[in-house]
């Protein structure tokens, strides 16, 4: 049984497919069929397709949904099930699906990397993202906070700033940032 927080937080699904040699063109056609269908699914927030680097045949498809309920509805849908059955002859293995929530996705290594990022690197990357935001976000909120002074305002302001920082890091900054520096991060 999952709790209500698990049911209603943004989630990401990481799907990996290893393609049979010579079937990449057919798989690309299949992707052009399934991606738009997923995009019309309730709660869909975007998709990233990471094509295999030279010497590899593994595609990684990253789906973003607003809630785990909507993601599971898409993953368990008849439409997706039929399309996966259509793709199976192109694959060397199974349809590998992982479901991740906000923060854990920041430092999930790419499929081609065997190890996770070292803690000190995670610290440096997180610090390099948080430090500028921790200066910019309060500065941007300052005019609004000045309009509504009241007892206990400091705690409310701190909560608003913290929520903004976590939101920006989880959904805007860290996913593309971690992908850009993945070579160094997982080295």
| H, E, C per residue of 39-58 | HCCCCEEEEEEECCCCCCCE
Q: Is residue 114 part of a domain?
A: no
Same domain, residue pair 26 and 52: yes
Q: What is the mean pLDDT of residues 20-35?
A: 93
Same domain, residue pair 10 and 62: yes
Q: Is residue 21 part of a domain?
A: yes
Tell me, what's the pLDDT at 158?
87
What's the CA gap between 44 and 70, in Å, rounded?
Answer: 8
Q: Is residue 57 part of a domain?
A: yes
What's the CA gap between 8 and 162, in Å, rounded?
Answer: 20
Same domain, residue pair 41 and 75: yes
Q: Is residue 175 part of a domain?
A: yes
Computed over every residue of the chain, the mean pLDDT equals 82
Q: What is the value of pTM for the model shown?
A: 0.55
Find the domain containing 73 and state its range: 4-101
Confidence of residue 115 (pLDDT cuts 50, 70, 90): low
Nearest by Cα to 12 from 122, 78, 97, 117:
97
Q: How far is Cα of residue 133 from the mean position of the Cα atoms in its chain?
A: 20
Same domain, residue pair 47 and 129: no
Same domain, residue pair 15 and 92: yes
Confidence of residue 108 (pLDDT cuts 50, 70, 90): low
Q: What is the mean pLDDT of residues 22-49?
A: 91
Same domain, residue pair 163 and 77: no
Q: Is residue 108 part of a domain?
A: no
Same domain, residue pair 96 and 20: yes
Q: Is residue 166 part of a domain?
A: yes
Same domain, residue pair 29 and 94: yes
Q: What percent of the chain has pLDDT over 90?
A: 31
Give the lowest-confidence range in 10-19, 20-29, 86-95, 127-136. Answer: 10-19
Contact in structure between 95 and 58 (CB atoms under 8 Å): no
Which residue bears the tokens 């430090």? Answer: 131
Tell me, what's the pLDDT at 110?
55
Q: Is residue 161 part of a domain?
A: yes
Domain count, the chain: 2
Same domain, residue pair 93 and 159: no
Tell me, what's the pLDDT at 12?
81
Q: Is residue 109 part of a domain?
A: no
10 against 83, higher pLDDT: 83
């Amino acid at each position: 049984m999952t709790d209500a927080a698990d049911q209603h937080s943004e989630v990401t699904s990481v799907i990996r497919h290893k393609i049979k040699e010579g079937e990449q063109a057919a798989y690309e056609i299949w992707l052009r069929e399934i991606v738009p269908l997923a995009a019309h699914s309730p709660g869909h927030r975007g998709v990233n397709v990471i094509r295999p680097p030279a010497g590899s045949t593994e595609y990684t498809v990253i789906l973003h949904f607003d809630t785990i309920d909507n993601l599971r509805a898409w993953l368990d849908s008849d439409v997706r099930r039929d399309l996966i059955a259509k793709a199976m002859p192109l694959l060397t293995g199974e349809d590998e699906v992982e479901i991740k929530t906000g923060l854990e996705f920041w430092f999930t290594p790419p499929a081609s990397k065997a190890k996770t990022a070292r803690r000190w690197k995670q610290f440096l990357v997180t610090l390099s993202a948080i430090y500028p935001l921790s200066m910019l976000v309060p500065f941007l909120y300052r005019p609004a906070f000045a309009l509504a002074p009241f007892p206990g305002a400091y705690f409310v302001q701190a909560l608003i700033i913290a929520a903004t920082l976590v939101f920006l890091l989880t959904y805007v900054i860290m996913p593309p940032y971690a992908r850009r520096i993945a070579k160094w991060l997982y080295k």
